[in-house]
Amino acid sequence: MTTRGFLPVTNGDALDATREFLRTLFDKQIIDALLVSVEGARNAIMPALVKNPTRLDRANPFAPVMPFNSARLVSMLTRESADVRLGIVLRSCEIRALIELVKFNQAKLDHAIIIGVDCIGTVPIPTYTQTRDQTPDWLAQVFSAGKHGDAGAMPLRAACAMCEQPTPAHADIALGFIGVDSARALVVELRDDLAAQLGVRADAADAEARAAILANLIAARTATRDAALQNFRAQMKSPDGFASYFAACLECTNCMNACPICYCKECFFRTANAEHAPRELLRTAERHGAVTLPPDALLFQMTRLNHMATSCVGCGMCEDACPHGIPLTAMFRAVGARTQKIFDYEPGRDVNAKPPFMEFRRDELQHIGEME
Amino acid sequence: MKPRIGVYICHCGLNIANTVDVEATREFARALPNVSVARNYTYMCSDPGQALITNDIRELGLTHVVVASCSPRMHEPTFRATIHKAGLNPYCLEMANIREQCAWVHADKKFATLKAMDLIASAVAKVAWLVPLQTREVGVTQAALVIGGGIAGLHAALDIADAGFPVALVEKQPYLGGRVAQLYTTFPTQERVADLLAPLIARVTQHPHIRVIANAKVEQIEGFIGNFRATVRTRPAFVDATKCDACGKCVDACPVSVPDAFNANLTPRRAIYRPTPNAPLVVDATQCTYIQDRVCLSEPRCVAACDRHAIDFSQAETVSELNVGAIIVATGASAFDATLKPELGFGAAANVITSLQFERLAANPAEFAKAFGAAKEIAFVSCVGSRDATTGNAYCSRVCCMVNAKQAQIVKQQFPAARVTIFYADVRAFGKGHEEFYDAVRQSGVRYRRGYVSEVYRRGAKMIVRAEDTLIQKPLEVEADLVVLGVGLTPRAETDEVANLLSLPRSGDGFLLEIHPKLRPVETAVDGVFLAGTCQGPKDIVDTIAQARAAASSALAPLCRGTVKVESATSTVNDEMCAGCGLCVATCPYGAPALNARTGKTRVNAVLCKGCGACAAACPSKAIQVMQFTPRQILSQIAVLA
């Protein structure tokens, strides 16, 4: 069971209150280490593994930028069971990716305390780093957008513009600023035992107002998502829709590197197995007149789609990483939505739900062929 | 060393040569990379055909061989043996299927020839990557498990035990004989079933090599051919057979009354009961109100009624582990539930009975006379729940035509004045002596009316059978005092459980599936597990026994040999690549891969692996691969076609 209350903010500085709260987690020995985004040189926001709470003076989980989907880092930190109680500060999409990784044995949550934070959306990294000193500053924009549930003024990443899950689920502690005045307080929802330890009193004030603002935000995001998915599907109607979507793909595999869930030790497409003998390529060129190089770009994308369509949480890291700006988020969300519907599977929803690949149901896939 | 490949193109008489230009194909193959020789021949699988291959291997020093002919399911073993004879590893062979996948399915010779060339080029590209594999053998536990103590299980158990191997015969019911034990006589000879069954059961129970485990259930099966381990849970009888004198006072005292399934629900029975008229008393724990803690509570009335203190509720379930090398599944079938055809009146009217109830009545002369003696008109309806899309059973029950004929004959013999009508769709009298029997029944005065019965309903004291006579194409109604529904056979409700227990596939009709109806009729997809009797599909007693003895003989092969060859083309894991996600573990139907707790990576138990490749397909990085089907091999095959 959980308690819902408030984290008071003094001097109108919600970030400072959050840093203090995170320090308290160390003080009360709820955590021994913390994975959290930290402000670095040159305006960089990067995740850091913090052991000494004094280093939290640079922590900033609200900066509207996401260099990593940190689920990947949690995987790195928890693959082997340790007796360290690791706190991890994550956005909703990061928690959902982490839950998928747990299902594939790539992360363990036995000793983890998940501190989820509301996310009103993030902006591309260059946009953020190049305009750090504008007025109002980014953080003020975030809290203002959060208060009204409208990030329309922010140049959001495509994935964030269609994100309909701005609040974290499955968190042991959830810090919220959407639909509340974060100059006065942040809303906090946490496990009862943690609430008792941290002295958070139950307080349902403003719950309805926050819920209404969230509902509006989610409705707007859902509309954006539906339009994006429809646009993608329209593009796929043409005979070479898929091929032309990836006309600019370099097979650089950046999307794979950025994906929090793509967990292979080594991508098949980077092994000797996927190498082509010159003779084979010449023969193919001879048969068709010419062959596009690199030869496996489409196969690579189809394979990633095949592997990730059911688990994709739509964080959009792949699209950020693409040097040619191929709109990967819309594709993964569109194909994911349909694939997930077939198997009645929602990635990141339930750590005990088996991914479709891991489970056979006698009644599944009764309808093969054209959907809808 | 550069591979030296020989390509052998088979004409298959004219099967291939009619549609594929074999000479042009040979010239094409000869020019492919690494090909040292290419030949074509009328029948490559014939002795002279095979001699071409063995001579070339010896004289030209071939390292790999491609045979372009039929499906590998047909002749792969043949040609593996051929190249092995000439000193090559049997796994350095690739088949190009230019018959089933080319010549047979195409008409245009030009295109068929081009496709045959592609298939051969593809096989040549792959074969160069094939590596020699070692044939592996494992030891066999020389004992068998037979699941099901019906007529099939009894015969199978006897044959294996007679060959000198221990057999465990596990039966769910507290008695042996199964479905057949409920029958009165057999067709077409009208022999008493009891006379057939009693000596058979006696032979089984007295056999020194057979251990009968009745009132029991196989709960778990692990392992693989030659090395299965079965867990069997036996329910106690709660009656000490050494003390019980079968006086029946306990039965009279028991407050429970449930339908007696053995008697086709015609009569009730108690919770303490005789499962068959001759069987010792047992307590049905699922019904006993003492065990279920209801009516009897702390004072079981049967215990109070028993002078000999034979009832012992302290008896507990026992669990035994059996190690066996082969398993025969003989779990039988159910009679079709006639209430699923409500229009035929079963359940609603007492004078509509099933053919199984007829058997139970006939077995008891007094009951039979009471039920049938006064009946002037008796109607039999065939195909109830068989060949009937409305019940989902498209198949023929293979017994109800002859059961109807046999039962009509019994009625006619005992009550010659009765008028007997059989409504039939077609009479299927395909077995030995069946047609003659059918003729005899017809000539004895039984009327056969070809017609689909649409309804059976009550009018006064009579039942009306409404049907369409499909010969004269007119609807007709026949009055009857008694209607007998010839019910078909359906898979037992527990079939799913059995299938899951052993990872056995089922056919569309719900029965357990053999590998091939003609080539491997008693084998299943799981090596070492064989099918006998009606669990595989509807059968009469004759066919059931034949199949049971076939299953026994198939099961005896590994038991006699003492070792079995296991698949060589198994999957292997590259530890460096394995991320330990467990997809392969979840995908494998045979339990071959498992995550190693220490390393977190997959290990494959090669003995369990059937080389099906499900794991390799599931593995995102191809850290797990199947020998003979590695990505390198398959991609080479595809590359020449791209």
B527-544 pLDDT, tens digit per residue, is: 899 999 999 999 999 999
Say whether pLDDT at A370 is over 70.
no
Together in a domain, A194 and A76: yes
How distant is the Cα of B267 from the closest Cα of chain A, in angstroms? 38
Domain CATH number, residue B209: 3.50.50.60
**Tell me, what's the pLDDT at B317?**
94
Say whether pLDDT at B295 is over 80.
no
Kindly give the residue spans of alpha helices, DSSP state H, lying in B176-300: 193-206, 249-253
**Tell me, what's the pLDDT at A284?**
87
The DSSP 8-state label assigned to residue B390 in this structure reads G
Say whether pLDDT at A133 is over 80.
no
**Tell me, what's the pLDDT at A81?**
64
pLDDT band, very low/low/confident/very high, at B440 (cuts 50, 70, 90): very high
Contact residues for B386 (Cβ-Cβ < 8 A; gap 6+): B336, B393, B395, B396, B397, B400, B488, B489, B538
**Tell me, what's the pLDDT at A369?**
62
pLDDT band, very low/low/confident/very high, at B184 (cuts 50, 70, 90): very high
| Chain B residues closer than 8 Å to A272 by CB | 632
Query: The tokens of B291 are what?
Result: 């065990």
Together in a domain, B21 and B118: yes
**Tell me, what's the pLDDT at B66?**
98
Is the pTM value of this prediction over 0.80? no
- Is A334 a domain residue? yes
How many whole angstroms separate alpha carbon B432 and alpha carbon B402?
A: 12
How distant is the Cα of B617 from the closest Cα of chain A, in angstroms? 11
**Tell me, what's the pLDDT at B346?**
94
Of the candidate ranges B248-257, B290-299, B360-369, the one whose mean pLDDT is the lowest: B290-299
Task: Supply φ then ψ for residue B230, to 5 degrees.
Answer: -110, 140
Count of domains for chain A: 2
- Is B228 a domain residue? yes
Where in the sequence is the domain holding A39, given as residue range(s)? 2-226
Where in the sequence is the domain holding B606, given as residue range(s)? 571-626
Q: Are B542 and B189 in contact (CB under 8 A)?
A: no
Together in a domain, B348 and B477: yes
**Tell me, what's the pLDDT at B270?**
94
- Is A368 a domain residue? no
Task: Supply φ then ψ for residue A333, to 5 degrees.
Answer: -70, -40
How distant is the Cα of B577 from the closest Cα of chain A, in angstroms? 5
Together in a domain, A325 and A262: yes
Say whether pLDDT at A290 is over 90.
yes
Mean pLDDT for the stretch of residues A210-237: 96
Together in a domain, B230 and B241: no
Together in a domain, B219 and B242: no
CA angle A254, A257, A260 (to 5 degrees): 130
Interface test with B, best of A105, A292, A362 (most B CBs within 10 A): A105
- Is B640 a domain residue? no
Count of domains for chain B: 5
**Tell me, what's the pLDDT at B73?**
86
Together in a domain, B248 and B385: no
Together in a domain, A154 and A246: no
Interface test with A, best of B581, B596, B601, B633 (most A CBs within 10 A): B581
How distant is the Cα of A280 from the closest Cα of chain B, in angstroms? 6
- Which residue bears the tokens 């020019």? B31
Cβ of B632 and A357 within 8 Å?
Answer: no
Together in a domain, A148 and A222: yes
**Tell me, what's the pLDDT at A213?**
97
Mean pLDDT for the stretch of residues A160-170: 96
Q: Are B482 and B378 in contact (CB under 8 A)?
A: yes
pLDDT band, very low/low/confident/very high, at A368 (cuts 50, 70, 90): low
Together in a domain, A248 and A207: no
**Tell me, what's the pLDDT at A157?**
96
Q: Which of B490, B513, B536 is the last residue of a domain?
A: B490
**Tell me, what's the pLDDT at A371?**
53
Beta bridge partners of A238: none
Mean pLDDT for the stretch of residues A168-196: 96
Mean pLDDT for the stretch of residues B437-462: 93
Cβ of B582 and A264 within 8 Å?
Answer: no
Together in a domain, B201 and B326: yes
Report the mean per-residue pLDDT for chain B. 94
How many whole angstroms separate alpha carbon A143 and alpha carbon A149?
A: 9
Q: Which of A226, A250, A281 is the last residue of a domain?
A: A226
Say whether pLDDT at A137 is over 90.
no
Mean pLDDT for the stretch of residues B413-439: 95
Report the mean per-residue pLDDT for chain A. 92
- Is B138 a domain residue? no
Together in a domain, B327 and B312: no
How many whole angstroms separate alpha carbon B421 and alpha carbon B447?
A: 5
Task: Supply φ then ψ for residue B546, to 5 degrees.
Answer: -60, -45
Cβ of B581 and A277 within 8 Å?
Answer: no
Pick the residue with more confidence: B106 or A137?
B106
Q: Has the ipTM of the complex gone over 0.85?
A: yes
Say whether pLDDT at A131 is over 90.
no
- Is A21 a domain residue? yes
- Is A232 a domain residue? no
Say whether pLDDT at A241 is over 80.
yes
Cβ of B578 and A287 within 8 Å?
Answer: no
Together in a domain, A39 and A164: yes
